[in-house]
Amino acid sequence: MSTILWIILAIVLIIIIALISMYNGLIRLKNRVDEAWSDIDVQLKRRYDLIPNLVETVKGYAVHERETLEKVVEARNTAMSMQNSSDIEGKLQAENALSSTLKSIFALSENYPDLKANQNFLELQKELSDTENKIQASRRFYNGNVRDFNTKVQVFPTNIIAKQLGFSSRQFFEIEEATQRENIQVKF
């Protein structure tokens, strides 16, 4: 009788260790996803800080391009207002809209040789391009962590534990098909 009791205790112990291991794995991956999102937030904040300076520089050269500049400012404000929101889909749409409008400012510079030669504009453009590259790297890092987390949440037997503990799949940070893959056209 004692041998059966030891076998049952060993099985229960193995199950408990497996459950703890699955839970800890889920928490580890969740924290990596949260950290990756935080990295994106840091770069987005940097971009938000650069945009007003860029808009002010362009304003002096492209006075009659008010509509384009207003769209950039509006997109920036919308994206900033979404920062504290828990609506990930809304955040992603706002960031994609901002990226699209920023492209239109750089397209404007092609039509204004003096603006293109302005040292302040060139420095801001360089900083913003650098920031955009960092945002892209942060997105890739975030999406990689989301992939790992989603895989863990969806595979058996972890999916059972994840569902019971309220873990759910996260959304990837992707570009919008229509706005990001088209070339920006500036018409006069």
Kindly report, residue by residue over 4-18, the tens digit of the pLDDT: 999 999 999 999 999
| Host H or E run for residue 160 | helix 158-164
Q: What pLDDT score does 186 carry? A: 37
Alpha carbon distances (Å) from 158 to 19, 28, 116, 122, 142: 8, 14, 55, 51, 21
Kindly report, residue by residue over 20-33, the tens digit of the pLDDT: 999 999 999 999 99
In whole numbers, what is the pLDDT of the chain averaged over residues?
A: 84
The CATH number fitting domain 35-180, selected from 1.20.1440.20, 3.30.420.240, 3.30.420.10, 1.10.167.10: 1.20.1440.20
Distance CA 136, CA 30 (A): 21
Q: What pLDDT score does 180 carry? A: 46
Contact by Cβ (8 Å): 91, 85: yes
> Where does residue 162 rank: exposed (0-12), middle (13-18), buried (19+ CB within 10 A)?
buried
Domains of the chain, by residue range, sit at: 35-180
Kindly report, residue by residue over 124-177, the tens digit of the pLDDT: 788 888 988 999 999 999 999 999 999 999 999 999 999 999 999 999 988 765
Letter for the amino acid at 144? G
Q: What pLDDT score does 34 carry? A: 93
Distance CA 57, CA 122 (A): 10
**What is this structure's pTM?**
0.72
